[in-house]
């Protein structure tokens, strides 16, 4: 092989296995790891999409994809009208978060190999009117929350049930290679904040005491799709 062919081969390899410039959310995640003293390895990009990081939590290797909610056209209009601090509008962007999960899932599943726990970390980079909180994450994972009404034996219309209904993403049959969804928040010069929401159906779960090396707070909804009356709010996990 000639010298020029060698150079071309090396260039093609570099393009296939490049490491891109970190996004705002990736920089923040690396800052979080540094604050917490957690070792991480950034995974090079290949010909197909892969997860962003492998993190070492003791003996546990955790596969992580970091995503961010960037400004939409509507967000830019709100920023133009109200600015970041003064907007009276509050939005739970569950549909957008659900699309992020759909995009990230194949990336973490590919590297999990059914053996390593996985986590999708989401950062709000789209304005303070977008709240990525417990309700937003729960709705993105488990679907639309609503009430079933009907007549009782006296003919009075009453609430017959409540719970997660349509547009479910995380179930007993789907997204089981996803162990955790986390919302990351920037606290300025201080340590970034990570709220972690466990998938109760995960094939490879991660123990809360292990994840506490990285997460500030942890939650789980033990049975979001049971029949009858189901509350929307996940339960806090004490570690």
Question: What pLDDT score was predicted for residue 17?
Answer: 44
Other residues' Cβ atoms within 10 Å of the Cβ of residue 187: 10
Question: What pLDDT score was predicted for residue 4?
Answer: 47
For the entire predicted model, the pTM comes to 0.84
Instruction: Give the pair of three-digit tokens for residue 61.
Output: 């290797």
Residue 63 contacts residue 54 (beta carbons within 8 Å) = yes
Q: Provide the Cα torsion 97, 221, 65, 29; round to 10°.
A: 90
Q: How far apart are CA 177 and CA 28, in angstroms?
A: 25
Question: What pLDDT score was predicted for residue 15?
Answer: 43
Question: What pLDDT score was predicted for residue 150?
Answer: 78
Question: What pLDDT score was predicted for residue 164?
Answer: 87
Q: How far apart are CA 144 and CA 89, in angstroms?
A: 21
| Chain segment 169-204, per-residue pLDDT in tens | 999 999 999 999 999 999 777 889 999 999 999 999
Question: What pLDDT score was predicted for residue 13?
Answer: 46
Instruction: Name which of 222, 223, 198 is nearest 208 in CA terms.
Output: 198
Percentages (nearest 5) of helix, strand, coil residues in the chain = 30, 25, 45
* All structural domains of the chain with their residue ranges: 21-236
The DSSP bridge partners found for residue 56 are: 39, 61
pLDDT beneath 50: ranges in the chain: 4-5, 7-18
């Amino acid at each position: 092989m000639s010298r020029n062919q060698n150079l071309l081969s090396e260039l093609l390899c570099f393009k296939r296995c490049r490491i891109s410039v970190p996004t705002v959310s990736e920089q923040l995640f690396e800052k979080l790891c540094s604050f917490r003293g957690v070792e991480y390895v950034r995974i090079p990009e290949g010909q197909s999409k892969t997860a962003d990081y492998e993190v070492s939590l003791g003996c546990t290797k955790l596969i992580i994809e970091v995503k961010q909610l960037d400004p939409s056209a509507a967000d830019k209009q709100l920023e133009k009208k109200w600015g970041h601090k003064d907007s009276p509008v509050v939005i739970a962007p569950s549909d957008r978060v659900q699309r992020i999960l759909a995009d990230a899932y194949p990336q973490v599943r590919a590297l999990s190999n059914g053996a390593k726990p996985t986590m999708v970390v989401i950062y709000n980079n789209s304005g303070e009117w977008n709240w990525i909180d417990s309700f937003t994450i729960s709705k993105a994972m488990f679907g639309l929350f609503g009430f079933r009404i009907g007549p009782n034996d006296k003919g009075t219309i009453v609430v017959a049930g409540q719970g997660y209904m349509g547009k479910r993403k995380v179930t007993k049959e789907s997204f089981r290679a996803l162990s955790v969804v986390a919302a990351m928040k920037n606290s300025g010069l201080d340590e970034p904040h990570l709220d972690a929401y466990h998938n109760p159906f995960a094939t490879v779960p991660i123990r809360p005491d292990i994840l506490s090396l990285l997460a500030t707070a942890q939650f789980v909804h033990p049975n979001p799709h049971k029949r009858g009356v189901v509350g929307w709010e996940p339960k806090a996990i004490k570690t």
